[in-house]
Amino acid sequence: MKALVFNVNVPKFLAIQALRPISASFCYGGPFATIRPADIPEPALPSPEWVKIKTKLCGVCGSDINLIMLKDSPTASPFTSFPCVPGHEFCGEVVEVGREVRTCAVGDLVTVMPFLGCVPRGIQPVCRSCAAGIPGNCENFAEGAFSPGMFTGICRDINGGFAEYTVAHRSQVFRVPKGVSPESATLTEPLAVGLQAVIDNMPRSGERVLVIGGGVIGAMVVKSIRALGGRCDITVAEPAPHSADYCKRSGADRVIAGGLIDAAVDMAGGRAYRPLLGERVVMGGFERIYDTVGHADTLNLSLRILAADGTLSVIGIGKNVNLDLTPLWLKLQTVKGCYGYRYNPVKGGGTKQAFETALDLIARKKVRVDDMLTHTFPIEEYRAMIEMNLNKSRHGAIKTAIRF
């Protein structure tokens, strides 16, 4: 079957670090390319608890681009294995079902919650995180039946959606409700990311909220706040005009290009004070901030403009950063790490996976996501797809996907 295969070793890593400043194209073309098209065998069911899926669409995540460009921190490398087929935002048709699967049938349109925690890995008893309903923070990503891999797409043994077929454990598979298009279903995963961040840091009525970064996840945060009934004031910081316009249409009260200190004063009622050296610090400011960028400058600014007792959700995955933690203790702030999605308590008792909640919101038309998918590509045009993701503003792109 057709697939895009990612692979890297130490010599290739060093070569790319030297060549990437000359041209990013060295990462996906030429002798040191990290990703290449290939014909690989169709996957077989690992056990009777698994299903086989024919891919229809697979979204391109920013983490996929960072992987290809070798921009990720090596800290997570023990929990990945190569070569692998990337792609964790996908939907497709079930073409084979293991005899112990009751949750779906051949012909169903499904989407996949990609985490490869204890249950898919066949580990019993499950770890503390999986037992608590947080498979994205499993303690056994490098253990069990498969090679290391936190999720489908970065595990050597379980290929992702950048291929014609893939397999998924029954616990990962969610049937797509009637009336939900493949385009919408493909975006369930990024919606679930934004949704979980909001559930973990839900704004109260009347609070002033800042979302830093108006790309896919930033827009999903805005959509999730509004879908959950959030009656707060939302400011989004996003310099790209097409993304800014989309965030405004998604429910933001305003979008600004920068000037976060001034925004905390003008839009959140804060007071700015200038220290002897360095950037101003704001007393008052935004009660909740969602940083979808995660760079040193955005994180440091977030702490300076976050109100006392405010909460900063760090959604963006950056590299090592230097932080001035003075605002943290000065204003008794909370910083929350955000990653993936979990099982959340629901009214009446029990829990529900945020992935399933995201699908339900789409099906009930509380959230629209298909209009976010601006460009699709056949797998043969993967280089054009990568280049568009590296220059989204130039092309007016928000979300791209491979279409089979």
401 - beta bridge partners? 59, 376
Taking 90 as the threshold, does the pLDDT of residue 73 lie above it? no
Q: What is the largest CA-CA distance in the chain?
A: 69
Q: Residue 211: beta bridge partners?
A: 236, 290
Amino acid identity, position 170: R
For residue 269, the tally of other CB atoms under 10 A from its CB is 13
Asked if 141 and 81 count as a contact pair (C-beta separation under 8 A), the reply is no
**Residue 141 binned pLDDT confidence (cut-offs 50, 70, 90):** very high
DSSP symbols for 319-387 = S------HHHHHTT-EEEE--S--EEE-TTSSEEEHHHHHHHHHHTTS---GGGEEEEE-GGGHHHHHH
> Mean per-residue pLDDT for 347-370?
96
359 belongs to a structural domain: no
326 and 210 housed in the same domain: yes
Query: Could you write out the DSSP letters of every residue in 26-76?
Result: GGTSSTT-SEEEEE-PPPPPSSTTEEEEEEEEEE--HHHHHHHTT-S-GGG
pLDDT band at 75 (very low <50, low <70, confident <90, very high): confident
**246 falls within a domain:** yes
> 71: pLDDT confidence band, cut at 50, 70 and 90?
confident
* Residues 206, 126 share a domain: no
- Clarify whether residues 26 and 81 are in a common domain: yes
> Same domain for 205 and 82?
no
Bridge partners of 282?
272
Question: Has residue 356 been placed in a domain?
Answer: no
Looking only at the bridges linking them, the beta strands covering 208-212 and 173-175 are unpaired
Alpha carbon 303 to chain centroid, angstroms: 23
Residue 364 falls inside a structural domain: no
Give the position of tokens 């014609």: 164
Of the two residues 144 and 319, the one the predictor is more confident about is 144
Q: In the prediction, which pLDDT does 152 show? A: 98
Whether residue 230 is predicted with pLDDT greater than 80 in this model: the reply is yes
Q: Is residue 68 part of a domain?
A: yes
Q: Does residue 69 lie in a domain region?
A: yes
Tally Cβ neighbours within 10 Å of residue 243: 23
What is each CA distance from 25 to 35, 73, 290, 378, in whole angstroms?
11, 20, 32, 19
Do residues 118 and 175 both lie within one domain? Answer: yes
127 in the same domain as 241:
no
Q: Percent of the chain, pLDDT > 70? A: 100
Q: Is there a single domain that holds both residue 259 and residue 139?
A: no
Over range 282-287, report the average pLDDT: 98
User: Would you say residue 213 lies in a domain?
Assistant: yes
Same domain, 302 and 380: no
Domain membership of residue 247 as a residue range: 196-337
Q: For residues 32 and 79, state if they share a domain.
A: yes
Q: What is the dihedral of CA 243, 246, 248, 252, to 10 degrees?
A: -80
- Point out the least confidently predicted range of 13-22, 189-198, 263-272: 13-22
The pLDDT value given to residue 195 = 98
Place of tokens 């996976």: 353
What confidence score (pLDDT) does residue 320 get? 79
Do residues 16 and 111 both lie within one domain? yes
State the chain's mean pLDDT as an integer.
96
pLDDT reported for residue 317 = 85
Which CATH number fits the domain that encloses residue 53?
A: 3.90.180.10
Residues 6 and 133 in one domain: yes
Residue 257 has pLDDT above 90, yes or no: yes
Give the number of domains in the chain. 2
222: CATH: 3.40.50.720
- CA–CA distance, 56 with 92 (Å, rounded to integer): 5
Residue 89, SS3 per DSSP: strand
Residue 319 has pLDDT above 80, yes or no: no
Answer whether residue 76 shows pLDDT above 90.
no
Q: 96 near 14, Cβ under 8 Å?
A: no
pLDDT at 28: 96
